[in-house]
């Protein structure tokens, strides 16, 4: 479907609530549209409509082209009167074609009108579902998540609850845990010298650690490497060049509650590293470990072991 003019979801409860501390939640509109069952049939109808419009436009374009080809083949044999008549006909159908494009594909045209026609009932149902969930969960305001928000706690995300509510009419529900798990991810380590850079040790640390972190998926929601790296790409930041503050911003954009980050250097066969576990919201260090390894195998084992120690320590604190 065309890019949707998505209405910012803001649910305002009775004004008296604003005298108290507000509880603000958020939704991910793109996820709602992707997983709401009604979207699929609307997309299909919209795409079929666009296809029919394109076919009509192609026929008009072909008519204009055939008239031009016919004129080019006959113009030397035509009288002045016949030549002008032929040119008028070409001009007439060219105008019809251009007007069709404007009326159908232009701003406010039939394509846009069809999009609005299909989206209006979906938006109403979505807004109604958001309002219902917001009231049930005690939120005074719900906003659509955007890149401009530095950090929003996953506990305030009601997206899955909204999707669950919307899909009830289709007999589809999503299992939602009573207590949402915290989100945790891993950043590439900062490479401290040329040897570490040349061997891409920062990315290797991230890869090695994810093999361990994935074992904790029953305890935490794992923010994938792809999600983390996509946030660097969105901001056109080179992960090798960002400072600590920017790194924590990336973790926030990726919706992490906790993040694993660190630094690594290499001299000859000796690899030195520090691994740190941070609370993204407060930026406080929950724990860290530094170590030295003299070969790749020991480095991998030591790094993974240090992460397990930090994670187990975090679990005890929660």
Written in H, E and C, the secondary structure of the chain is CCCCCCCCCCCCCCHHHHHCCCCEEEECHHHHHHHCHHHHHHHHHHHHHHHHHHHHHHHHHHHHHHHHHHHHHHCCCCCHHHHHHHHHHHHHHHHHHHHHHHHHHCCCCHHHHHHHHHHHHHHHHHHHHHHHHHHHHCCCEEEECCCCCCCCCHHHECHHHHHHHHHHHHCCCCCCCCCCCCEEEECCCEECCHHHHHCCHHHHHHHHHHHHHHHHCCCCEECCHHHHHHHHHHCCCCCCCCCHHHHHHHHHHCCCCEEEEEEEEEECCEEEEEEEEEECCCCCEEEEEEEEECCHHHHHHHHHHHHHHHHHHHHHHC
Q: How far does CA 284 lie from the centroid of its chain?
A: 27
- pLDDT at position 278, please? 95
Structure token pair of residue 177: 């845990």
Question: How many angstroms separate the CA atoms of 252 and 255, rounded?
Answer: 5
Check if the beta carbon of residue 283 is closer than 8 Å to that of residue 255: no
Listed as ranges, residues in the chain with pLDDT below 70 are 1-21, 146-153, 172-180, 318
**Nearest Cα to Cα of residue 259 among 271, 245, 272, 241:** 245
Number of compact structural domains in the chain: 2
| Sequence-separated (6 or more) residues with CB below 8 Å from residue 164 | 173, 174, 176
Looking at the fold, whether 103 and 187 belong to one and the same domain comes out as no
Global confidence as pTM: 0.47
Question: Does the residue 265 lie in any domain?
Answer: yes
Question: Does the residue 306 lie in any domain?
Answer: yes
Question: How many angstroms separate the CA atoms of 299 and 204, rounded?
Answer: 11
Looking at the fold, whether 104 and 224 belong to one and the same domain comes out as no
CATH number for the domain that contains residue 234 = 3.40.50.10070
Looking at the fold, whether 296 and 193 belong to one and the same domain comes out as yes
Question: Does the residue 154 lie in any domain?
Answer: no
- pLDDT at position 171, please? 74
The Cβ of residue 47 has, within 10 Å, a number of other Cβ atoms equal to 12
Looking at the fold, whether 86 and 196 belong to one and the same domain comes out as no
Of the residues 94, 111, 128, the one at which a domain ends:
111
Question: Does the residue 221 lie in any domain?
Answer: yes
- pLDDT at position 138, please? 85
**Nearest Cα to Cα of residue 227 among 163, 184, 283, 181:** 184
Of the residues 59, 92, 111, the one at which a domain ends:
111
- pLDDT at position 145, please? 74
- pLDDT at position 167, please? 87
Looking at the fold, whether 107 and 207 belong to one and the same domain comes out as no
Structure token pair of residue 3: 């890019």
Of the residues 81, 111, 141, the one at which a domain ends:
111
Looking at the fold, whether 105 and 220 belong to one and the same domain comes out as no
Residue range of the domain that includes 95: 41-111
Question: Does the residue 244 lie in any domain?
Answer: yes
- pLDDT at position 149, please? 63
Question: Does the residue 52 lie in any domain?
Answer: yes
| Sequence-separated (6 or more) residues with CB below 8 Å from residue 294 | 269, 270, 271
Residue 11 CA: distances (Å) to CA of 53, 126, 128, 143: 37, 12, 9, 8
Question: Does the residue 177 lie in any domain?
Answer: no
Question: Does the residue 82 lie in any domain?
Answer: yes
Looking at the fold, whether 193 and 98 belong to one and the same domain comes out as no
Angle formed by the axes of helices 37-74 and 110-137, nearest 10°: 170
């Amino acid at each position: 479907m065309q890019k949707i003019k998505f209405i910012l979801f803001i649910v305002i409860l009775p004004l008296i609530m604003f005298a108290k501390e507000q509880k603000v939640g958020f939704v991910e509109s793109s996820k709602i549209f992707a997983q709401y069952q009604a979207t699929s049939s609307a997309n299909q109808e919209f795409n079929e409509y666009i296809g029919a419009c394109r076919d009509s436009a192609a026929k008009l374009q072909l008519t204009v082209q055939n008239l031009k080809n016919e004129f080019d083949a006959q113009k030397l044999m035509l009288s002045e009167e016949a030549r002008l008549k032929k040119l008028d006909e070409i001009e007439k159908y060219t105008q019809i074609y251009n007007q069709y494009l404007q009326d159908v594909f232009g701003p406010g045209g039939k394509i846009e009108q069809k999009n609005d026609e299909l989206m209006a009932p979906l938006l109403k149902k979505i807004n109604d579902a958001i309002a219902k969930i917001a009231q049930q969960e005690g939120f005074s305001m719900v906003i659509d998540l955007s890149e401009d928000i530095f950090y929003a706690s996953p506990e305030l995300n009601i997206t899955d609850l909204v999707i669950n509510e919307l899909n009830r009419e289709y007999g589809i529900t999503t299992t939602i845990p009573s207590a949402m798990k915290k989100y945790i991810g891993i950043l590439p380590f900062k490479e401290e010298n040329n040897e570490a850079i040349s061997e891409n040790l920062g990315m290797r640390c991230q890869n090695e650690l994810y093999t361990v972190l994935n074992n904790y998926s029953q305890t935490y929601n794992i923010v994938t490497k792809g999600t983390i790296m996509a946030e660097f790409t969105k901001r056109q930041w080179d992960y090798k060049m960002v400072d600590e503050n920017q790194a924590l911003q990336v973790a926030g954009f990726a919706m992490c509650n906790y993040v694993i980050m660190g630094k690594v250097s290499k001299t000859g066969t000796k690899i030195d590293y520090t691994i740190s576990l941070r609370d993204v919201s407060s930026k406080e260090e929950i724990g860290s470990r530094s170590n030295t390894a003299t070969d790749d195998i020991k480095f991998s084992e030591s790094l993974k072991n240090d992460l397990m120690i930090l994670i187990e320590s975090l679990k005890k604190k929660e």
